Amino acid sequence: MRFSARALAELLHTDPASPVQYPTADQARVIEAPLEPLLVVAGAGSGKTKTMADRVVWLVANELVRPEQILGVTFTRKAAGELGTRIRQRLAALYRALDGEDAPGQDRLDPTVSTYHSFANGIVQDYGLRIGVERDSVMLGTAQAWQLAVSVVEAYSGEWSHFTAAKSTLVSAVLGMAGECAEHLTSPSVVRAALREHIEAVEGLQYSLTSARKPTQAVANLLDKLRTRVSVTELVDQYAAAKLARRQLDFGDLVALAARIAQEIPEATAMERQKYEVVLLDEFQDTSHAQMVLFSRLFADGRAVTAVGDPHQSIYGFRGASAGQLGTFRTAFPVGAPGGSLAPSPVSNLSVAWRNSTAILAAANTVSAALNVPAPWLRSAPSLTVPGLSPRPGAPLGEVRIGRFLADAPAGVQQAEAAGPAGPGVPRPVTEAEAVAAEVMFHSRRTFERDDSGDRLRPTIAVLCRGRKQFEPIRRELERNGIPVQIVGLGGLLRTPEIVEMLAVLRVLGDPDRSDSMLRLLAGARWRIGPADLMALGDWSRQLARAREAAVGRSARTGEAQGDDDAVIAPDAAESGSLVEAVDHLPPEGWESGAGRSLTSEGRERLGRLRDELRRLRDYVGDDLGTIIGEVERSILLDIEVAAKPGVGIHDARRNLDAFSEAVAGFTSTAERVDLPAFLAWLEAADAEEDGLPVTQLEASREAVQLLTVHASKGLEWDVVLVPGLNEGSFPSGTASRWSSGDSAIPWTLRGDAPELPQWDWDQPDAKEWLESEKRYAEEARAHAEREERRLAYVAFTRAKHVLVCTSSAWGGGRTRPTPASGYLFDLLTLAEQGEDGFTVLHWLAAEDEGDENPAAAVPQRATWPIDPLGPRRPALSEAAGAVAGAAQAFAAAGPAAREAWAPPAGRWSREVELALARRAQDEEKLPVTLPAHISASTLVELGEDPAAVLAQLRRPVPRQPGSAARKGTAFHAWIEEFYGTSGMLDLGEYPGAADAHVDEALGLDDMAEIFRNSSWAARTPAGIEVPIETKVGGVIVRGRIDAVFRDADGGWDLIDWKTGRPPSEANRAAKSVQLALYRLAWARLKEVPLESVRAAFFYVADNALIRPHDLAGETELERIIAAAVELGG
């Protein structure tokens, strides 16, 4: 080979002040691996992204493949962007280093980097017609899929007597089973047949071979559970039929259809193999069986497919991922062996952790050690042994700090004086939440990293919880100590005080039966309706309910006594009383209930103001959700309330409200129904999912402590990580999913990863043994779940770079007995007691000190109701408010001269004016400006039109306001990509602007789409769409993208640029055609064909006009544009 991995490191090293970063021996083996399948087991923080990028550079530098023959696939758009950027930067450095006689050419295409779903989308778009998938199929968002499933469940007319679940549970079951069928490439009919066969076999069994007694209720309950599962398969079929009728797909369909194409369409396999010689599959431990089938059918022909992953980080089993995927890769992608046989692909390891300190690695290796012990239910020999993580050279020691406390949150627990985490003599927190807050305050003052100028960087800190129910006590304690908190994920967000208040109002507006939400408003800190008024209002609501029933002729059924409003309250009338209705129609003055209760004058006045506010807000219910949310926020003064938080900046104070607005925007962009009731129902479904809906892309923050679940933390890192709640039953979780419980899972025997899972042996001689076998299966399922919990702990621990804090509490919430600490925490305690470097025990509650009674229950809780929101601050704040009001009155009454004296000095404004004038004078001096090394094609066009304006923009850049024309162009180009089915980097339904159907009409996109469909271009097949080009013009690299490339009948090339604006005038056509001239020159160079064999044209879609300039500039004319700009710039 021309270059080794070490030689490339030297070639690409450009900073003489720093040493060359040579790859490790393990990294070098991966970088220099032969062109054959390879499995790379990459531990947490082991530099896999850099290694993959370096492998691409090594392959290109040694001319083993061209860049465009390389495909990289990962899970998130963020990860795909990072990998793509890293590859492009490394390739650019390679080209610069080789520039000259060694340069392979100046016109190069980039590798393709995509997400797994985007790649599947491309396969379906390119070849879906061959299996009956229409090109105009629409991708369902999460909210849309949920709403469609709701309509299917509500329309169900089959057998339902065995149903015990709520409607929302059945909706989740339909979506869950549909997803599992897709992930494991099976169908509802196959699942239904297996379940019915099982049910019929058990129904014919006696309870015991030695007894004639009838089967027990437990047998009947389990059979009903299976019958419900059969009904769910019918609902899944109806869900699929509804999608088909609407030409819609969900994400599960996308991957399943792509796998089917790979299995059934040989031409698809041939075409994809022709495009890609090297395939990099990132995060392979999180792939599903369908994704394994897709890639193995496409690329398992001995070519260089590299799968990178870590079985210890496989934590998405509930989404179809399997920790055994990496082991399965070796046999799914075999290599040639002597004698023409096949052998499992080789394995390389990346085990040097570049993120974590030494002590944290010791914790991670300890918690993951048990995962290398094969599970007893495995029906195939484990093919992978994962080495422990090793520290990088010069890694700091770091810290692991552990604690066991009496209670999870301060509820009547006293503090004791002792040595605490912040030093001797400081009150030691005796609750877990206080310990977390104290640790955060302590470590936030420390210095772990500095910026390039040597200034201290504020540490990044995260609190990772196993479940969202842990968020609230920790959030309260952090905010009580003035620590800004960012709650990540919708589920946790819904429990924050400002969002709880917001939702109460929204629910009252959207559903008149939400008396619970109305009660929250009434008894809350703003309206403070007292108990007496609440009881009177309850009487009035029941009276209204009875009056409503009487109006429809049902008063006889209620058994009311004429003239006695409260004599007898029938259950249905009592239940139908609505506080929402009662507030909207307050009783007349002087009203008194049959129980002698009436509203106080103060209560009536407050209720009247609440009624008026709600009536005004109802006027907005028909508007878009964003408008409703904004009006509610302003009406209930939430914006002022959060802004008034002491010691908190406005951006931190509004963090939860802004995050809720983002959730609203996400819903409106993917839902079919975007009204308030649909949104509230969707929120309840999202909140019911413990793992929540997908979290938006997240970055570690230095501005706030981030509070999130461990699942949401995957792929991130922080300086300091705190993991509270390490109790048995919490972390590890006490619940274990198995297919025989719940309503959504398919039998594990039908899963693609069945050999890796425990199985229920349901072939038994009698019903008693059948039940016993299910219990044995449940035990194995619990052991299987514990392994995933252990992997989850490994992920949590390895998020920390410098400090890891792990805590537990004996008591919490309504526990009636103390909870043991997690085995994971005991593992760390053992290391600390053995003297492991870097381990510190903050406090460990001895078993004998746990007590027999929950300390929260032992102390009487006292509260004032209605609560005074100002509390002890009321006198001081009332005095301050009075002073402000008095000053305002004095100012209003003062004369002009006195008001002038109150005016602020103008000195600062004068200085601003002077600076602005000086800046303008400096601009007029025409400071020299040089063109950058790389410019865009549009910049080249602008240089041809007005070089002085371009140079002025380069001299002092001014942001340009995006307009609707740019929005229109972006949206239409994305639609074109979808139409031709080649948008490899775009998920269906995710092209820019696709979510905003309400603006499509304003932009005229529907009209342009119709014009395009009727044009000759719609019937032609492009040779390329959105093709990136890069070529040198006059010493400057110019980059752009050709919208579409077509092959002419005579073998020539036709380059088309779609335009959504109006055609230019005759006078401006020459200037605009510079763009086509550049594309023509770049394409001729790229394909090494004569310039005359390449044509180019603009197609103005709105006018259905083709403009084909016949006097396009050549290389010399384009270079003159650059030369003129260089001369003008001085």
pLDDT single digits (tens) 689-740:
644 444 455 788 898 999 999 998 988 999 999 999 999 999 999 888 899 9
The verdict on domain 934-1129 having CATH code 3.20.20.70 is no
Question: Is 275 flagged in the annotation as binding?
Answer: no
Fold of 5-127+255-350: Rossmann fold (3.40.50)
pLDDT at position 1000, please?
Answer: 41
Lowest mean pLDDT among 54-63, 134-143, 177-186, 287-296: 134-143
Whole-Å CA distances, 1111 to 987, 1057, 1074 = 39, 17, 10
Residues carrying CATH 3.40.50.300, the chain: 5-127+255-350, 399-488+698-738+777-858
pLDDT at position 926, please?
Answer: 53
Most confident of 123-132, 759-768, 793-802: 793-802
Lowest mean pLDDT among 957-966, 974-983, 1079-1088: 957-966
Q: Residues 543-570: pLDDT tens digits? A: 998 887 777 664 444 444 444 444 333 3
pLDDT at 208 over 90: no
Question: Is 46 flagged in the annotation as binding?
Answer: yes
* Domain boundaries 490-526+619-694, CATH class: mainly alpha
Helix (H/G/I), strand (E/B), else coil: 448 = coil
Residues carrying CATH 3.90.320.10, the chain: 934-1129
Beta strands at 1094-1100 and 1105-1107: parallel, antiparallel or unpaired: antiparallel
Architecture of domain 399-488+698-738+777-858: 3-Layer(aba) Sandwich (3.40)
Whole-Å CA distances, 250 to 144, 220, 553 = 9, 35, 48
pLDDT at position 697, please?
Answer: 59
Residues carrying CATH 1.10.486.10, the chain: 490-526+619-694
pLDDT at position 403, please?
Answer: 97
What are the residue ranges of helices labelled H in 511-623? 515-523, 531-551, 555-558, 571-576, 579-584, 601-618
Q: Residues 146-162: pLDDT tens digits? A: 889 999 998 988 777 77
Q: What letter represents residue 588's amino acid?
A: P
pLDDT at position 960, please?
Answer: 47
Question: Is 798 flagged in the annotation as binding?
Answer: no
Crossing angle of the two packed helices 655-670 and 142-154, in degrees rounded to 10: 60
Query: What is the pLDDT confidence band of residue 967, given thresholds at 50, 70 and 90?
Result: low
pLDDT at position 416, please?
Answer: 38
Q: Whose structure tokens read 């129980």? A: 595
Question: Is 48 flagged in the annotation as binding?
Answer: yes
pLDDT at position 574, please?
Answer: 42
Q: Whose structure tokens read 């390449």? A: 1094
- The CA-based angle 66-70-76, given to 5 degrees, is 150
- pLDDT, mean of residues 65-88: 91
pLDDT at position 415, please?
Answer: 42
Q: Residues 456-466: pLDDT tens digits? A: 999 999 999 99
Crossing angle of the two packed helices 358-368 and 823-833, in degrees rounded to 10: 130
What are the residue ranges of helices labelled H in 624-672? 625-635, 638-643, 650-653, 655-670
Question: Is 856 flagged in the annotation as binding?
Answer: no
pLDDT at position 420, please?
Answer: 41
Virtual torsion, Cα 799, 800, 805, 808, nearest 10 deg: 10
Query: What is the pLDDT confidence band of residue 900, given thresholds at 50, 70 and 90?
Result: low
Question: Is 47 flagged in the annotation as binding?
Answer: yes
Q: Residues 2-36: pLDDT tens digits? A: 899 999 999 999 888 889 999 999 999 999 999 99
Could you give the CA distance from residue 268 to residue 261 in angstroms, rounded to a whole number?
7
pLDDT at 491 over 60: yes
Lowest mean pLDDT among 293-307, 355-369, 966-980: 966-980
Look at 169 and 175; give whichever has higher pLDDT: 175
- pLDDT, mean of residues 935-942: 86
Query: What is the pLDDT confidence band of residue 1003, given thresholds at 50, 70 and 90?
Result: very low
Q: How many residues does the chain have?
A: 1130
- pLDDT, mean of residues 419-434: 58
Query: What is the pLDDT confidence band of residue 534, given thresholds at 50, 70 and 90?
Result: very high
Lowest mean pLDDT among 314-328, 334-348, 778-792, 822-836: 314-328
